[in-house]
Amino acid sequence: MNREEIVNKLKQGLLEVTFNKVNGDERVMTCTLQEGVIPAATKKDPLSLKKIREINPEVVSVWDTDATSWRSFRVANVTNVNEVA
CATH number at residue 73: 2.30.30
pLDDT at 57 over 90: no
Give tens-digit pLDDT for 16-34: 999 999 999 999 999 999 9
Give tens-digit pLDDT for 32-48: 999 999 887 666 665 55
Q: Which domain holds residue 16?
A: 3-83
Tell me the torsion sign for CA atoms 72, 76, 77, 79. Answer: positive
Into how many domains does the chain fold? Answer: 1
Q: What angle do CA 67, 25, 16 make, to 5 degrees?
A: 45
- Whole-angstrom Cα distance, residue 69 to residue 56? 19
pLDDT for 48: 55
The residues facing 19 across adjacent strands are 27, 78
Q: Which of 12, 64, 52 lies closest to 34 in space, CA to CA?
A: 12
DSSP annotation of 26:
E
